[in-house]
Chains A and B, each alone.
Chain A
Amino acid sequence: MNKVFIITGTRKGLGKQLAEYYLSKGHKVVGCSRGEASINHVDYSHHSMDVSDEEAVIQLVRKTKKLHGRIDVLLNNAGIASMNHITITPGKTARRIFDTNFMGTFLFSREVAKIMMRQKHGRIVNYTTVATPLRLEGEAIYAASKAAIENFTQVAARELGQFGITVNAIGPTPVKTDLIKNVPADKLESLLNRQAIHRYGEFKDVLNVINFFINDESDFVTGQIIYLGGVVG
């Protein structure tokens, strides 16, 4: 059966690849990013908006419900990172990271959950990072914003479990996208060395975990955080 997906951050990177993958499987995808759409497909609609804009999130979710009649899967993929020592991190940057990563995840989850609760079915997948369990130096704000997402995921799983909604999170290792293009190579190398399996993550690794979480058979799997590469939380 084809499903209705909302995927945030679909202009590029993992979000774009995921949207294209699910479209190729015959599903409907509603995506968003601050920039214009980079996907052209009959079953794709794009909203140019910031995930921390509450009004815009409400509009997107309601329009999706009107257009497709339901929402099966929410992938809270949009995210930004910034590497810096805490002593030289501007307050404005910290706020922007929390707004995008945490507030975006919260607002989309809140609005979509209301619809999923009435359907008595739904899958929400949030995004964390191995930087959080590894307490990576230089990523304090990014890791903290993802730690907030992890805790939110676990509480949301409890609040929404009785309605047939599962809420889980994937924690990728470095995957070669624009997100990490400014991270120095030696930093990435030393991070890979802290993993159980010392290689970059790939799109297929992320996809595999997401497919597991959103599978119909995974209705007893919720509040879980799966890190790639053998990193342990």
Chain B
Amino acid sequence: MDRQEILKIVLEAVSEVGEDEDKDILQNPDESTRLYGGANGNLDSMGVVFLVTELEESLSEKLGIDLTLADDRAMSQRNSPFKSVKTITDYIMMLLKEKQENS
């Protein structure tokens, strides 16, 4: 799977959540946009929940990929895969690779 394609879906999902939450910075995201955790995180824990549901649905509808983004580290301040647009894109790429290897 092409990383650019996944990144595009992540950016769309972040911007969708940004609209719902009325946050300008999330409405025009790029790869470095901070999401969850730290002093300059733009999403709270409920925001992460929304982003996860949005992303799972888009991946399934647009690319036919059924993934669960549930992760024990989700709410961790340091290692959350939802820290930024970049980390979440990398995380999805990793899950896809794992899925491919297991099938």
Contact = CB atoms under 8 A, between A and B. Distances in A.
A59 B53 contact: no
A103 to B, nearest CB: 14
B46 to A, nearest CB: 9
Contact of B66 (A62, A110, A118): A62
B66 A114 contact: no
B53 A118 contact: yes
B76 interface: no
Given A58-B66, A58-B68, A114 B60 contact: no
Interface residues of B, number: 10
B57 to A, nearest CB: 8
A39 interface: no
Nearest to A111: B68
A58 B53 CA distance: 13
Interface string B15-37: 00000000000000000000000
A27 to B, nearest CB: 24
A62 B53 contact: no
B56 interface: yes
Interface in A111-159: 114, 117-118
B53 A117 contact: yes
Interface in B58-83: 60, 66, 68, 70
Interface in A154-209: none
A153 B80 CA distance: 27
B45 to A, nearest CB: 11
Contact of A62 (B49, B50, B60): B60
Interface string B35-59: 0000000000000011011001100
Interface in A23-70: 54, 58-59, 62
A117 B60 CA distance: 17
A65 B66 CA distance: 13
A188 to B, nearest CB: 41
Contact of A59 (B50, B52, B66): B66
A59 B66 CA distance: 8
Contacts of A58: 66, 68
A62 B60 CA distance: 8
A54 to B, nearest CB: 8
A106 B57 CA distance: 19
Contacts of B70: 110
Nearest to B67: A58
Nearest to B52: A114
Contacts of B49: 117
Minimum-distance CB pairs A-B, first 6: A114-B53, A62-B60, A58-B66, A62-B66, A58-B68, A117-B53
12 contacts: A54-B68, A58-B66, A58-B68, A59-B66, A62-B60, A62-B66, A114-B56, A114-B57, A117-B49, A117-B50, A118-B53, A118-B57
Given A59-B66, A117-B49, A117-B50, 7 more contacts: A58-B66, A58-B68, A62-B66, A110-B70, A114-B52, A114-B57, A118-B57
